[in-house]
Amino acid sequence: MGLPRPDELISNVNLKKMPSKWWMDTLPVEFKPGYYCYGAKGKNLDYVGFPNARDFHVTEEDWKLPEDWKNIVLEGIKQRLERFRSFHVFMDICVRCGACSDKCHFFIGTGDPKNMPVLRAELLRSVYRKYFTAGGKLFGRKAGARDLDIDVLKELWYYFYQCTECRRCSLFCPYGIDTAEITIIGRELLNLLGLNTDWISGPVANCYRTGNHLGIEPHTMKSTLEFMCNDIEEITGIKIDPPINKKGAEILFVTPSGDLFADPGIYNAMGYMMLFHEIGLDYTWSTFASEGGNFGFFTSLEMAKRLHTKIYEEAKRLKVKWIIGGECGHMWRVWHQFHNTWYGPVDFLEEPVSPITGTKFENAKSNKIVHISEFTADLIRHGVLKFDKSRNDNLIVTFHDSCNTSRGMGIFEEPRYIIRNVCNHFYEMPDETIREQTFCCGGGSGLNAGEIMELRMRGGFPRANAVKYVHEKFGVNMLANICAIDRATLPPLMDYWVPGVRVSGVTELVANAMIMKGEKERTMNLRMEPLPGKEEQ
Amino acid sequence: MSIRDLLSKKRKEIVSKSFELTIATYPEESQSFFKESAKQFTNPIGYNIYQSIEKIIDNIIKEEPIESFISPLEEIVRIRAVQDFTPSQAIGFIFLIKKALQDELEKEVEPLQLLDFLTRVDSLVLVAFDIFMKYREKIYDLKSKELIDRTWWILKKWNIISEIQDKPLETN
């Protein structure tokens, strides 16, 4: 018979013990829909003065590169080797021990060897060796070196946009190589050729123009906050007048713009306003520093600094004493790990002291910015807030540590302390999936684009798998977190892998349980769903 | 010996061969990692595929109805529905399980009896196809839902659209 047997038809079955091809010989990469982001639009690149501004389509053969693109990349590598000692060291010292190889959520979810952090970095290292090391120049392939050609460039692009810079791999590296930093540099090099993604370059241009990724203009932001306050009044009976661009306020509050427009972030934004109103905090929103997140960080350090400056300058203009930052991920990485390198310690702000409890936030002595979870945990610790935890009794909560706030800056206890104080039912996911070993949501570092839903689903699978475990074991139905990207990416991830688990910010849980002075009897939560026991009313 | 008894006797070999063949559909460099099937949280793919194959084989041995196969098939198919597989490759692992069954049984079972048995195993492919489509449709559903979630709220808040309000339920 001419027909093959079904098991013969599944032609990728391979029982050989050793790979039949060396990784260098597996080019070109195949761009399948669902696994790559759309290319950047010229207008967005042009707006911020990025090089080679033109529309760029990933699946087209011609990426419309400048003629001397190869020299641009090699010169870019040279400059960065000279400028960043860490990059130079990371290029040289990897012994390919493989400790990182099975730690990446994209590798765990795909089995694609080029998603092993070691091999992802090797994609760039091989080019480095060829052009910058004697061994590579002399022995070429035998020394793990390869020429930079268009297929290699496309491969670099494909895999550096399959890394969420979550740094889980770096935790396991005996040399402390931070593969996320290699991705950061890799993306910088690609950016020199205008090879950015639409999902990143659009928000960067928006942020540069209006102060936030979504392009919300001042009047829109004001109306949005007022709309939220109308809802707060309907739920609690308390009228809040949100302070905006208030000069001389004690504190500037900055949060990612996702909290202003996207569900479920908006409930967190309502929560911030309720909390600050309840304690009578002298604070202000800013319509200029209206974005805590920083997609510039996913293009180049210069662009990250350029976008970050608005917060710094706005704090100066409004003459605030210090800053509170909302629940965000990479915003905190930028503040915590890059801000001081860019500006040095902030000299025009004061060391943050909670006006309510008198607590000095000594950890923020240099940056003058306090995380909302640190601030809230301190309020709770001092007994400032009163809670009716039973309002959250319909929720069985677990906490997802966001990569940036956990591995990037060590915030582990505060959100857990808060959740335990506002919810009666809290369960941890297994140890190897939380705290510093947390698994990424699969959509960080600008990879939360809709067109890569398949990639997000498989990258987020290790996280979802741990949620599924606590969902089945303890009935967990709410996945709390302190990151706006998480709030955007985890709902579809849960829908796919663990239906029945919803997603919320921690402050939303606080605001639901918080008994406010002068509030009416609450029957609804911030999502306008009936509170437990109030279903009939 | 009946097929059922034979299957019970060879359960371990069939499970391990089915698992090995299924894992062999992944890239060569990753197969040894995926085979570490005990790591529930750090190797969720290996773990879930192994557990599900075990359930499928057990259900076959216990002659369970077809509905009982949906859940373990779903565990495997929804993983493969978002991996680098064509649709046929995503669900084709069932033919590999079939092959493992055939290899273990063919020497000891009458050909006609074996043919009838293996033809019944084919029905799992149809169930898997339904599951595959369900999850592929889910992906597109999520894409559109994400877009709606990001925009619908704005339309409502800005009164660009106006919805009929929920009526409070009348109580007597």
How do residues A461-493 score in pLDDT, each as one tens digit?
A: 999 999 999 999 999 999 999 999 999 999 999
The residue in chain B having the minimum alpha-carbon distance to the alpha carbon of residue A34 is B82
Q: Rounded distance, CA A280 to CA A92, Å?
A: 54
* pLDDT beyond 90 at A346: no
Do both A130 and A227 map to the same domain? no
Q: What is the 3-state secondary structure (H, E, C) of chain B?
A: CCHHHHHHHCHHHHHHHHHHHHHCCCCHHHHHHHCCCCCCCCCHHHHHHHHHHHHHHHHHHCCCCHHHHHHHHHHHHHHHCCCCCCHHHHHCHHHHHHHHHHHHHCCCCCHHHHHHHHHHHHHHHHHHHHHHHHHHHHHHHHHHHHHHHHHHHHHHHCCCCCCCCCCCCCCC
> Would you say residue A11 lies in a domain?
no
Minimal C-alpha gap between A97 and chain B (Å): 15
The residue in chain B having the minimum alpha-carbon distance to the alpha carbon of residue A14 is B24
Do both A171 and A213 map to the same domain? no
Q: Rounded distance, CA A275 to CA A272, Å?
A: 5
CB contact under 8 A, B142 and A497: no
CB contact under 8 A, B139 and A496: yes
Q: Which member of A223, A262, A454 has the closest CB to residue B150? A: A262
ipTM reported for the complex surpasses 0.90: yes
Token duo for residue B111: 């050909």
Minimal C-alpha gap between A346 and chain B (Å): 36
Q: Which member of B24, B34, B147 has the closest CB to residue A13? A: B24
In chain A, how many H helices and how many E strands?
24, 7
In chain A, which residues have their Cβ closer than 8 Å to the Cβ of B87? Answer: none
In chain A, which residues have their Cβ closer than 8 Å to the Cβ of B52? Answer: none
CB contact under 8 A, A492 and B48: no
Do both A85 and A42 map to the same domain? yes
Are the C-beta atoms of A478 and A227 separated by less than 8 Å?
no
Are the C-beta atoms of B139 and A453 separated by less than 8 Å?
yes
> Mapping DSSP to helix (H, G, I), strand (E, B) and coil, where does residue A322 land?
strand
| Nearest to B31, CA basis, from A26, A14, A458 | A14
Alpha helices in A279-300 (DSSP H): none
Do both A315 and A439 map to the same domain? yes
* pLDDT beyond 80 at A420: yes
User: How many interchain CB pairs under 8 A, A with B?
Assistant: 132
CB contact under 8 A, A14 and B153: no
More confident of the two residues B171 and A88: A88
> Distance of CA A295 to CAs A32, A41, A71, A298, A374, Å?
25, 15, 27, 5, 24
Supply the pLDDT for residue B158. Answer: 66
Q: Rounded distance, CA B55 to CA B68, Å?
A: 9
Would you tell me how many other CB atoms lie within 10 Å of the CB of residue A217? 13
Would you tell me how many other CB atoms lie within 10 Å of the CB of residue A87? 21
Q: Which of A161, A196, A231 is the last residue of a domain?
A: A196
Token duo for residue A289: 């520093």
**Which residue do the tokens 């240099």 mark?**
A366
Least reliable range by pLDDT among A209-223, A329-343, B37-51, B141-155: B141-155
Please, what is the average pLDDT of chain A? 94
Phi, psi of A64 (to 5 degrees): 50, 55
Q: Which member of A108, A110, A492 has the closest CB to residue B44? A: A108
Q: Which H/E stretch holds residue A9? A: helix A6-9
What range does the domain containing A366 cover?
203-513
Would you say the C-alpha torsion A40, A42, A45, A48 has a positive or negative sign?
A: negative
Q: Which of A140, A166, A196 is the last residue of a domain?
A: A196
* pLDDT beyond 60 at A537: no
Supply the pLDDT for residue A274. Answer: 98
Q: Which member of B27, B41, B149 has the closest CB to residue A112? A: B27
Q: Which member of A227, A430, A450 has the closest CB to residue B41? A: A430
Q: What is the pLDDT of residues A398-414, one digit of tens each?
A: 999 999 999 988 999 99
Q: Rounded distance, CA A221 to CA A253, Å?
A: 14
How confident is the model over A15-20, as a mean pLDDT?
Answer: 61
Minimal C-alpha gap between B117 and chain A (Å): 17
The residue in chain B having the minimum alpha-carbon distance to the alpha carbon of residue A468 is B41
In chain A, which residues have their Cβ closer than 8 Å to the Cβ of B166? Answer: none
CB contact under 8 A, B146 and A492: yes
Beta carbons within 8 Å of A381's beta carbon, 6+ residues apart? A357, A417
CB contact under 8 A, A111 and B82: no
Supply the pLDDT for residue B170. Answer: 55
Do both A290 and A151 map to the same domain? no
Supply the pLDDT for residue A193. Answer: 98
Supply the pLDDT for residue A4. Answer: 76
The single-letter DSSP state of residue A46 is H
* pLDDT beyond 90 at A142: yes
The two beta strands, A322-325 and A369-371, are parallel
> Would you say residue A3 lies in a domain?
no
Are the C-beta atoms of B47 and B75 separated by less than 8 Å?
no
Confidence of residue A2 (pLDDT cuts 50, 70, 90): confident
Taking only Cα atoms into account, the Rg of chain A, rounded to an integer number of angstroms, comes to 24
CB contact under 8 A, B138 and A495: yes
More confident of the two residues B171 and B156: B156
Supply the pLDDT for residue A535. Answer: 84
Do both A353 and A394 map to the same domain? yes
The whole-model pTM stands at 0.94
Max intra-chain CA distance, chain A: 85
Minimal C-alpha gap between A144 and chain B (Å): 18
CB contact under 8 A, B30 and A107: yes
Least reliable range by pLDDT among A78-87, A386-395, B1-10, B47-56: B1-10
Supply the pLDDT for residue B167. Answer: 64
The residue in chain B having the minimum alpha-carbon distance to the alpha carbon of residue A115 is B30
In chain A, which residues have their Cβ closer than 8 Å to the Cβ of B27? Answer: 111-113
Residue A164's DSSP bridge partners are none
Minimal C-alpha gap between A213 and chain B (Å): 13
Do both A112 and A260 map to the same domain? no
Q: Rounded distance, CA A48 to CA A53, Å?
A: 10
Taking only Cα atoms into account, the Rg of chain B, rounded to an integer number of angstroms, comes to 22
The residue in chain A having the minimum alpha-carbon distance to the alpha carbon of residue B125 is A6
The residue in chain B having the minimum alpha-carbon distance to the alpha carbon of residue A495 is B142
Give me the long-range contacts of A406-409 (CB less than 8 A, separation at least 24).
Answer: A406/A435, A406/A436, A406/A438, A407/A166, A407/A167, A407/A168, A407/A170, A407/A171, A407/A436, A407/A438, A408/A167, A408/A332, A408/A333, A408/A336, A408/A337, A409/A332, A409/A333, A409/A336, A409/A337
Q: What is the pLDDT of residues A151-208, one digit of tens each?
A: 999 999 999 999 999 999 999 999 999 999 999 999 999 999 999 999 999 999 999 9
In chain B, which residues have their Cβ closer than 8 Å to the Cβ of A110? Answer: 83-84
Token duo for residue A340: 């001081």
Domain B3-136 has CATH 1.10.490: yes
Supply the pLDDT for residue B47. Answer: 97
In chain B, which residues have their Cβ closer than 8 Å to the Cβ of A261? Answer: 150, 153-154
Q: Rounded distance, CA A163 to CA A87, Å?
A: 17
Are the C-beta atoms of A505 and A490 separated by less than 8 Å?
no
Q: Which of A146, A162, A196 is the last residue of a domain?
A: A196
How confident is the model over A499-510, as a mean pLDDT?
Answer: 98
Supply the pLDDT for residue A429. Answer: 98
Confidence of residue A1 (pLDDT cuts 50, 70, 90): low
Q: Which member of B42, B82, B158 has the closest CB to residue A454? A: B82
Supply the pLDDT for residue A409. Answer: 87
Q: Rounded distance, CA A464 to CA A472, Å?
A: 12
Beta carbons within 8 Å of A77's beta carbon, 6+ residues apart? A127, A128, A131, A132, A189
Do both A51 and A157 map to the same domain? yes
> Would you say residue A435 lies in a domain?
yes
Q: What is the pLDDT of residues B78-127, one digit of tens each?
A: 999 999 899 999 999 999 999 999 999 999 999 999 999 999 999 999 99
* pLDDT beyond 90 at B148: no
Do both A71 and A105 map to the same domain? yes
In chain A, which residues have their Cβ closer than 8 Å to the Cβ of B82? Answer: 34, 454-455, 457-458
Are the C-beta atoms of A16 and B28 separated by less than 8 Å?
yes
Do both A295 and A249 map to the same domain? yes
How confident is the model over A455-460, as a mean pLDDT?
Answer: 97
Length of chain B, in residues: 172
Q: What angle do CA A171, A175, A179 make, to 5 degrees?
A: 55
How confident is the model over A299-315, as a mean pLDDT?
Answer: 94
Q: Testing the interface with B: which of A465, A502, A537 to mutate, by most B Cβ within 10 A?
A: A465
A28 prior amide bond cis, ω within 30: yes
* pLDDT beyond 70 at A13: no
Q: Rounded distance, CA A516 to CA A506, Å?
A: 17
Q: What is the pLDDT of residues B114-132, one digit of tens each?
A: 999 999 999 999 999 999 9
CATH number at residue A189: 1.10.1060
Phi, psi of A328 (to 5 degrees): -145, 160
Supply the pLDDT for residue A380. Answer: 98
Number of domains in chain A: 2
Least reliable range by pLDDT among A336-350, A375-389, A443-457, B87-101: A336-350
Supply the pLDDT for residue A515. Answer: 98
Supply the pLDDT for residue A109. Answer: 94
| Torsion angle defined by CA atoms of residues A78, A80, A81 and A82, in that order, rounded to the nearest 10 degrees | 90
Are the C-beta atoms of A84 and A178 separated by less than 8 Å?
no
Q: Which H/E stretch holds residue A463? A: helix A461-474
The residue in chain B having the minimum alpha-carbon distance to the alpha carbon of residue A112 is B27
> Would you say residue A430 lies in a domain?
yes
Do both A120 and A268 map to the same domain? no
Domain boundary assignment for chain B: 3-136
Supply the pLDDT for residue A5. Answer: 75
Q: Rounded distance, CA B59 to CA B79, Å?
A: 21
CB contact under 8 A, B149 and A262: yes
In chain A, which residues have their Cβ closer than 8 Å to the Cβ of B93? Answer: 10
Confidence of residue A418 (pLDDT cuts 50, 70, 90): very high
> Distance of CA A495 to CAs A125, A388, A403, A461, B69, Å?
38, 30, 21, 12, 22
Residue type, A298: F
CB contact under 8 A, B143 and A450: yes
Q: What is the pLDDT of residues A278-298, one digit of tens each?
A: 999 999 999 999 999 999 999
Minimal C-alpha gap between B37 and chain A (Å): 12
CB contact under 8 A, A450 and B146: yes
